[in-house]
Amino acid sequence: MDYQGIIEEIAALVRPEFGKGKVADYIPALAKVPASKFGIAVRTLSGDTFQVGDAEEAFSIQSISKVFALAQAYPIYGEALWERVGMEPSGNPFNSLVQLEYEKGIPRNPFINAGALVITDMLIEHFPKPKTRMLDFIRELSGSDDVYYDYEVTRSEREFGFTNAALVNFMKSHYNIKAPVEQVLDVYFHQCSVAMNCRELASAFLLLANHGVHPRNGQRILTKSQAKRINAIMLTCGFYDEAGEFAFCVGLPGKSGVGGGIVAVIPNELSIAVWSPELNEHGNSQAGIKALELFTTMTEMSIF
């Protein structure tokens, strides 16, 4: 398959999407990123890399980090993890508060903010240095020591993190948060501010195309079943209240972030990362979704 030709064609075809979305500004540091950035990287399990545009430029991965957090917590807590967070799509925006009250402080899934904050709390309970461990884990998976915390973004998240603070406080009142509220927010804001590029992201997500085995050193990080389940949750919950449409148009498990990144996985084959900072009304990359839709259409590859 001529992946290089396909992604180059996609980079040209998505141009009309530019200007239709809006760069995230509720985290002020993200608003500074030029809207015109665009990159795609494809990594195959057979060891090839294909890339186009700004695929080597680091950006804020934001909620894509929720997958890395879950991939650390799941092997430690096993199925007990699901006692504190659910596995159902929320049908609500990523930072929604409403469901939490009806459902007594148990978030719907690990990819909305509330659920990710519970996973962060679990990582704090287990690891003496969860922030260092997060970075080490992502560096190990991506094979790149260049992955870093963008502290300007971390500060910006903290300064305007009132909704996340509300979520943690509410869950703490339901005893679903164990660590101090400030610590949970600190680790979570760091994890969201991880900066890396499309190539590194695509490399890291090969883990989930490879049934939980690190594709380069052969180390098993997740059981086959855990990898399947994380992919299932990416498919049903990875795009919040747009998860149905993403499955409908793209047909792959994936995860987005408000930095404009999206990573998707074709099990047994490849992973693909796209970056374009302008977001649609659901907080997902406008051109990124279009690019992935074109990718599965042109390659005729999806999980369905």
Ligand X SMILES: NC(=O)CC[C@H](N)C(=O)O
188 is catalytic: yes
Q: Tell me whether residue 251 or residue 261 sits nearer to ligand X (CB atom).
A: 261
Query: Hey, is 257 helix, strand or coil?
Result: coil
Position with the least CB separation from ligand X: 63
Find the shortest distance in angstroms from Cβ 157 to ligand X. 5
**Residue-wise DSSP of 176-192:** ---S-HHHHHHHHHHHH
Question: Quick check: 257 binds ligand X (CB under 6 A)?
Answer: yes
Retrieve residue 191's tokens: 């994890």
With CB under 6 A as the contact rule, the residue among 40, 147, 192, 206 that binds ligand X is 192
With CB under 6 A as the contact rule, the residue among 44, 51, 62, 176 that binds ligand X is 62
63 is catalytic: yes
Q: Tell me whether residue 157 or residue 241 sits nearer to ligand X (CB atom).
A: 157
Q: Tell me whether residue 283 or residue 288 sits nearer to ligand X (CB atom).
A: 283
Kindly name the residue from 42, 168, 172, 240 that is annotated as catalytic. 240
Question: Quick check: 63 binds ligand X (CB under 6 A)?
Answer: yes
For residues 152 to 171, the per-residue mask of contacts with ligand X, x marking binding by CB under 6 A and - elsewhere, is -----x------x-------
The residues in 104-133 that bind ligand X, with binding defined as CB under 6 A, are: 113
Retrieve residue 176's tokens: 């679903």
Residues 6+ apart with CB under 8 A from 273: 39, 40, 41, 55, 198, 199, 201, 202, 205, 261, 262, 263
Q: Tell me whether residue 170 or residue 220 sits nearer to ligand X (CB atom).
A: 170
Alpha carbons within 13 A on the beta-carbon side of 62:
29
CA gap 76, 123 in Å, rounded: 9
Question: Quick check: 49 binds ligand X (CB under 6 A)?
Answer: no
Question: Quick check: 238 binds ligand X (CB under 6 A)?
Answer: no
Retrieve residue 287's tokens: 């051109």
Find the shortest distance in angstroms from Cβ 44 to ligand X. 27
In sign, the C-alpha dihedral spanning 144, 266, 75, 91 is positive
77 is catalytic: no
Is 157 annotated as belonging to a binding site?
A: yes
CA–CA distances in Å: residue 42 to residues 52, 114, 206:
9, 31, 10
CB 195 within 8 A of CB 257: no
Angle subtended by helix axes 181-192 and 130-142, to nearest 10 = 20
Interacting residues toward ligand X by CB under 6 A: 62-63, 94-95, 113, 157, 164, 192, 257-258, 283
Q: Tell me which residues are annotated as active site.
A: 63, 66, 188, 240, 258
Binding site listing: 63, 113, 157, 164, 188, 240, 258
